[in-house]
Amino acid sequence: MHPGRRPARMTAEEPPPSRTRALVALLLLLALVGGGWLLAQHLAQVARTEDCLMAGRRNCAPIQPQ
């Protein structure tokens, strides 16, 4: 800081800083984390199926209840 200079202070007339950028960044981060979690779950399922097939089994596909 320069000598003789005061730090800028907010006055009553100035609006508070906008948080729009922070909220957008938070939403983007949450979307990336959620997408990464879904991708990891899918890759784990594919790995389990591949392990089953590599073991020589034929009934590796999961059965969906109806």
Map 9-37 to HEC letters. CCCCCCCCCCCHHHHHHHHHHHHHHHHHH
- Number of domains making up the chain: 1
Question: What is the reported pLDDT for 4?
Answer: 64
Question: What is the reported pLDDT for 2?
Answer: 60
Q: Which domain holds residue 47?
A: 25-56
Residue 36 covered by a domain:
yes
Is the model's pTM score more than 0.75?
no
Q: Which residues of the chain have pLDDT under 70?
A: 1-12
Residue 38 covered by a domain:
yes
The residue written with tokens 């320069």 in the block is: 2
pLDDT (tens digit per residue) in 15-33? 777 899 999 999 999 999 9
26 φ, ψ to 5°?
Answer: -65, -45
Question: What is the reported pLDDT for 10?
Answer: 59
Structure tokens at 56: 């020589």
